[in-house]
Amino acid sequence: MTATASGARREQHNVLFLAEVINVNDGIATYCLTLAEGLKQRGVSVHLLSGPIKSDERSRHKRVQMEQVFADWRAFDGMKRFPKIALIREIAAYIRAHDIKVINTHGLGMLFLGKALSLMTGARFVGTYHPSLIGGLESVKKSASQKFSRHQELFLRLFFPHRLIVLSDQSVDFIRQHHIPQRERVVKVMGGTSLDHFYPPAPAQREAARASFGFAPTDIVCILAARLAWNKGHDLLIKAVRDLRERHPEYGFKCLFIGSGGADREAEIKALAHQGEADADTFRFVGFVKDVRDAMWASDVAVLPSRFEGFAISMVEAMATGLVPIRTPAGGATDQIVDGETGYIVPFEDSDALGAAILALADPVRRTEWATRNAERARKLFGIEPMVEQIMALYGLSPARAD
């Protein structure tokens, strides 16, 4: 323990995050950043060792945020499922030199490395499961409903951590359906967000936000804030809104797409959206933004027709700003939405059901009432503090405190 200038005494805890890759513009990076910020406020020094860092000029602001919150961030080319012995030894030496007490791997691919380092150093080993899918549309559709292969299941059994953190009921069920003796070590800790930053706008703030995007007061704006990838279901929302536009021209339905992706995927999704003269006005692609709050303040409904998901922090942010959510029953949906009371959970691959849910929320009375419910629900369940408290308990750490 060391004494502070005010006479309070704080115990320094050191935690190591391990990740195979950091894609600065995706939800996993946001989760790690938010958790690290919350831990830092509790006296925990978080170090990050990762594989390649993927970022560009659009995500530079977020990368700077991450560099500022982590006590140290180093990238290694050889960070993979089974790294070379030399890298394992180098990281073990790093853990000892920095008095790391807890290793938190992010992604199941890091379990072998986390287990090896825990055995070598005595640090507690906690894993976090971040399910995701990448690839073309057809491969994503095929993979979305698949269980772990026998090899993946064996890998998980052999290198299971002291605790495996998942973020949703769906992920708990998915892990526990496999033949894994350690299934009771799976613990759900829902993701949180900054409720000081994400909150419902005042009328003037909403008016200014909508004006900045050129939306009319009567437009019904659907926002999909997620990486541009087929897994997120952009194609389903595009089809649903295009059909609504034709059948209900009396409503000014618009879509606001926030996020970026690989160049090929971005081009494919934009080409699907922009096929007619009216499409450019209906489907707006903004790209990656350093702060999504203004886009949410300009919107009415948050839509995420994912084929597979871990939790979707963006939907929590949307709820906190007073948006009404519509989701498929992917990870986090039942944790976030009370179906038919605060939003809608629609079937996978069903653009008609998605369109019907959006149309139901064209009713301003329902939308206003449910917006209030969502802001209250987010404030009750999805703050950063409850997430950090639960994870510190799983780490076996107590928060720094004044004597």
Output the pLDDT for position 402: 34
Report how far residue 63's alpha carbon sits from residue 40's, in angstroms, rounded to the nearest whole number: 17
Domain boundaries, position 67: 2-192+384-395
**Quick one: 164 and 302 in the same domain?**
no
* Structural element, H or E, at residue 73: strand 72-75
**Quick one: 149 and 280 in the same domain?**
no
Which amino acid belongs to residue 396?
G
Tell me: pLDDT of 23 over 60: yes
Count other Cβ atoms within 10 Å, centred on residue 313. Answer: 22
**Quick one: 216 and 267 in the same domain?**
yes
Tell me: pLDDT of 4 over 60: no
What are 159's two structure tokens? 């290198």
Q: 130-184: per-residue pLDDT in tens?
A: 987 677 777 777 766 678 889 999 999 999 999 999 999 999 998 988 888 888 8
Q: How far does CA 71 lie from the centroid of its chain? A: 22
What's the structural domain count of the chain? 2
**Quick one: 369 and 388 in the same domain?**
no
Determine, yes or no, domain membership for 198: no
What are 99's two structure tokens? 């008095």
Output the pLDDT for position 179: 86
Determine, yes or no, domain membership for 300: yes
Determine, yes or no, domain membership for 402: no
Output 400 or 256, whichever has higher pLDDT: 256
Average pLDDT of span 45-66: 91
Q: 254 and 215 in contact (C-beta within 8 Å)?
A: yes
**Quick one: 129 and 211 in the same domain?**
no
Tell me: pLDDT of 326 over 80: yes
Tell me: pLDDT of 26 over 90: no
**Quick one: 60 and 103 in the same domain?**
yes
Report how far residue 209's alpha carbon sits from residue 218's, in angstroms, rounded to the nearest whole number: 14
**Quick one: 50 and 174 in the same domain?**
yes
Q: 184-209: per-residue pLDDT in tens?
A: 899 999 999 999 999 999 999 999 99
Q: 33-52: per-residue pLDDT in tens?
A: 999 999 999 999 999 999 99
Report how far residue 114's alpha carbon sits from residue 129's, in angstroms, rounded to the nearest whole number: 13
